[in-house]
Amino acid sequence: MRFLPRVLVLCLVVMILTLKLMTYYWARIPEFPVSSTENTFALSAKIPFYGNPSLIPYKEFFVPGQNTTFPLNYSFHLNGSHICKDQDPYLVIFVLSVHDQTAQREAVRRTWGSVANGNHWPGTTIMPLIKIVFLFGVHDDEILNAIIRTENEIHQDIVQANFVDSYDNLSLKVLMGFKWMTLHCTRAKFLMKTDEDSFIVLPKLLKKLESASMDNSILGVYSFSEGVANSGKNKIDKNEYPLSLFPPHCKGIMYAMPSKLAANIVTVANHFKYMRIEDVFITGVLAKAVDARHVQLEESEYYKYKTPKPCELSNGPIILSHGVNAVLMYQTWNTFQNPIMCSS
């Protein structure tokens, strides 16, 4: 027992020395501000690469450059500033059209697109505010330009920008539509792009938009990892797109997105090399630049290649069909107005 005080004293000395050593080495550890710690954590928890892993070595390709590469400062011959004036559309639909397809545009206006004129979809009582805009560039035949000016005087639903309207300028056409939205339709919630020969079952599309997580996302016919075409009208030169696979994207027959996402896309667009393939460029390359994601239409919800029969759209889960001419459009619409036609 007589050694106990000495043991206690020795333990106390050891504890003091240990604390001093800890204090000394702790002081030598550099201090990090809170933000640096957060950044370090963010880097360690980095979101996995979105797309085919073979694209990872080329991820810098999807980062906007410092310089502008093509113009987006075209003026609008027909600016459609009245279309959304003092209104908050739930959905703005951009329909890409060809100048001489007057009958096809009229079919859209009188069938599935008639809701843009305040009409209800057959069988529904409430529809959110929807606007349709037919997009054009300038044709080299002034007679055709005059046709759409006259058409616009009647329907007031055409926007025409001052660039050459051509297949190679489809990307530019859509981007100018996005730009128009940022100028004249800023309070729209969603926008959709489609073609004049598409038939959209709007109540089903609206239900899809409402049920899906659409924050910074694009809804459409989804392609995760498509090879680059080496022939045909969609052939891509290596100078235009040097990779062998496209990033995830939605097909151009129809895609929808929040208007804020469209505004972000048009902001970065001309900091990339221009691509003629509109759906890949806009919903793939540019969407990836702003870290967008995609919401897939199920295969049961669209006809990609098959031309539908009228009752196939009015019955069942189909939201979208392509290759629908004016006659078939009216026939299909008739089945929505008269469901008994498809009851057998």
Q: Could you state, in chain order, the average pLDDT of each consecutive group of 10 residues for the chain (344 residues)?
A: 51 54 37 30 53 93 92 95 93 97 98 92 90 97 97 97 96 97 96 97 94 93 91 84 95 96 96 95 97 94 82 89 95 93 80
Which residue blocks in 29-141 are alpha helix, DSSP H?
Answer: 34-44, 102-110
Is residue 284 one of the residues assigned to a domain? yes
For helices 259-269 and 170-184, the axis angle rounded to 10 degrees is 120
**Which residue spans within the chain are E strands per DSSP?**
76-78, 91-96, 130-138, 158-164, 190-195, 199-200, 217-223, 249-258, 293-296, 302-303, 320-321
Q: What is the DSSP letter of 245?
A: B
Contact 137, 161 (CB under 8 A): yes
Residue whose token pair is 């995760």:
224
Residue 58 lies in a domain: yes
pLDDT recorded at residue 28: 33
User: What confidence score (pLDDT) does residue 16 get?
Assistant: 56
In a domain, 224, yes or no: yes
Q: Kind of pairing, strands 293-296 and 217-223?
A: parallel
Tokens of 164: 């050459």
The model carries a pTM of 0.84
Tokens representing 229 are 């075409």
**Distance between first and last Cα of the chain:** 105
Domains: count for the chain: 1
Residue pair 243/260 in contact by the 8 Å Cβ criterion: no
313 in any annotated domain: no
The whole-number pLDDT of residue 40 equals 27
* CA quadruple 68, 69, 74, 79: dihedral sign: negative
Nearest-angstrom CA–CA distance, 200 and 142 = 31
Domain with 264 in it: what CATH number? 3.90.550
303 inside domain? no
pLDDT of residue 308: 82
Q: Which residues pair with 167 in a beta bridge?
A: none
Predicted local distance difference test score (pLDDT) of residue 49: 86
Provide the residue type at 274 as one letter.
Answer: Y
Q: Which amino acid is at 212?
A: A
The residues, ordered by sequence, that sit 6+ positions from 174 with a Cβ below 8 Å of its Cβ are: 94, 96, 135, 193, 278, 282
Residue 198 lies in a domain: yes
Of 197, 276, 193, which Cα lies nearest the Cα of 233?
Answer: 276
Q: Can you tell me the distance from the alpha carbon of 182 to that of 267, in angstroms, rounded to the nearest whole number?
A: 10
Q: What pLDDT shows up at residue 344?
A: 66
Q: Are 307 and 323 in contact (CB under 8 A)?
A: yes
Residue 181: closest CA among 118, 135, 112: 135
The pLDDT, as a whole number, for residue 155 is 96
Of 185, 90, 71, 87, nearest in space to 135 by CA: 185
Under DSSP, the state recorded for 117 is G
- In 3D space, the residue among 322, 284, 323, 283 whose CA is nearest the CA of residue 302 turns out to be 322
d(CA 259, CA 266): 11
43, part of any domain: no
Is residue 3 included in any domain, yes or no? no
CA dist., res. 189 & res. 87, Å (int): 11
Structural domain that includes position 200: 53-298
Written as one letter, the residue type at 235 is K
